[in-house]
Amino acid sequence: MTGRILFISDDVMFWARVRAAAEAASREIVRVDGEAAMEEAYRRGDVAQVIADLGCRSVDVLAWAARWKAAAPAPELVAFGSHVDEASLVAARNAGFDTVMPNSRFHRTVGTLIAG
């Protein structure tokens, strides 16, 4: 997989783990923590994968899913969130995310997700 990865999260601990996995896979990754940064990444147009924390409060990840799906080429969309917040997981699926999973699965598979 070529192209940048966007990681959308307010959680610095998640970021450290994901960044380490990207470095191990020799992938470029950028953490997005606000709407302005998301808009800039979208306009740049070189994103291959978007990984979104459904607990992120600084970016409306569900609203962005439709925009990313309409991009050409559309990046792979991955969302993860709390297993007890079933409504958010269902909403992410309905918004168009390709893969939706609980936090525990994300942590177990992050290296594989990023390596492509």
The CATH class of the 4-115 domain is alpha beta
H helices of 12-99, in order, are 12-24, 35-44, 61-70, 86-95
33 pLDDT higher than 90: no
pLDDT averaged over every residue in the chain: 92
Q: Can you tell me whether residue 57 is helix, strand or coil?
A: coil
Nearest to 80 by CA among 68, 93, 67: 93
Domain spans in the chain, listed from the N-terminal domain onward: 4-115
Q: Can you tell me whether residue 94 is helix, strand or coil?
A: helix
What does the pLDDT look like over 35-91, one tens digit per residue?
999 999 898 889 999 999 999 999 999 999 999 998 888 999 999 999 988 999 999
Please, which pLDDT band fits residue 21 given cuts at 50, 70 and 90?
very high
Question: How many Å apart are CA 81 and CA 106, to the nearest integer?
Answer: 9
